[in-house]
Chains A and B, each alone.
Chain A
Amino acid sequence: MPAIFILIMSLALADSLSGQKEASLAYAVLDFDGTPLSRAFDSQLGNLDLLNKSAPPSSEADARLQVRDQKTAFVIVIPQGFANQIGSNQPPELRLLIDPAVPGMVRNGFRQHVEAAATRVWLTQILEHLRQRMMLPVAEPAGAPEISIESVSNNDTAAAAPPSSVQQSVPAWLIFSMFFVVIPISAVFIGERQCGTLQRLRAQRVPFSLVLAGKFVPFVLVNQMQAVVMVAIGRWLVPLCGGEALTLPGNAAALMALSMLSLAVSVAAVGWALLIASFARSSEQATILGGVGNILMGAIGGIMVPRYVMPAAMQTWTHISPMDWALEGFHEVMLRQGGFTDILPAICSLVCFGLAALAAAAFLNHRATNT
Chain B
Amino acid sequence: MIRLENLRYRYRPEIPPALDSVSISITRGSIHGLLGPNGAGKTTLISLLAGLLTHREGRITIDGESLDGWRAAHPNAIAQVPQDYAFYPMLTVTENLAFFAGVQGIPRREQQHRCDRALAFSRLETVAGRRAGELSGGLRRRLNLAIGLTGEPEILLLDEPTAGVDSSSRLFLLEAVRQYAAAGRTVLYTSHYMEEVEAVCSDVSIIDHGKVLLAGPVTEVKRGRTLEQVFMELTGHSLRD
A residues touching B (Cβ–Cβ < 8 Å)? 194-197, 199-206, 210, 369-371
Contacts and interface: CB of A to CB of B under 8 A. Distances in A.
Contact of B86 (A195, A370, A371): A195
A371 B12 contact: yes
- Most-contacted residue by chain B among A194, A197, A201, A210 (CB, 10 A): A197
Interface of B: 11-12, 50-54, 71, 75-76, 78-80, 82-88, 100, 103-104, 147, 151
Contacts of A371: 11-12
Contact of B79 (A195, A202, A204): A204
A206 B102 CA distance: 10
Q: Main SS of chain A's interface residues?
A: helix
B85 A370 contact: no
A204 B82 CA distance: 12
Contacts of B12: 371
Contacts of A194: 84
Given A195-B84, A196-B86, A204 B53 contact: no
A200 B11 contact: no
Given A201-B103, A203-B52, A369-B53, A196 B76 contact: no
The 6 closest A-B pairs by CB, nearest first: A196-B86, A196-B84, A200-B86, A203-B50, A203-B80, A196-B82
A365 to B, nearest CB: 12
B51 A205 contact: yes
B100 A202 contact: no
Contacts of B80: 200, 203
A199 B86 contact: yes
A204 B52 contact: no
A351 to B, nearest CB: 27
B104 to A, nearest CB: 5
B82 A202 contact: no
A368 to B, nearest CB: 10
Nearest to A371: B11
B151 A197 contact: no
A147 B17 CA distance: 79
A129 to B, nearest CB: 82
A197 to B, nearest CB: 5
Contacts of A369: 52-54
Given A199-B82, A200-B82, 15 more contacts: A197-B86, A197-B87, A197-B88, A200-B86, A200-B87, A200-B147, A201-B103, A203-B51, A203-B52, A203-B79, A203-B80, A204-B76, A205-B76, A206-B103, A369-B52
Contact of B85 (A195, A202, A205): A195
18 contacts: A195-B86, A195-B87, A196-B84, A196-B85, A196-B86, A199-B52, A200-B82, A200-B86, A200-B100, A201-B103, A202-B52, A203-B80, A203-B82, A204-B103, A205-B75, A369-B52, A370-B54, A371-B11
B95 to A, nearest CB: 13
A196 B103 CA distance: 16
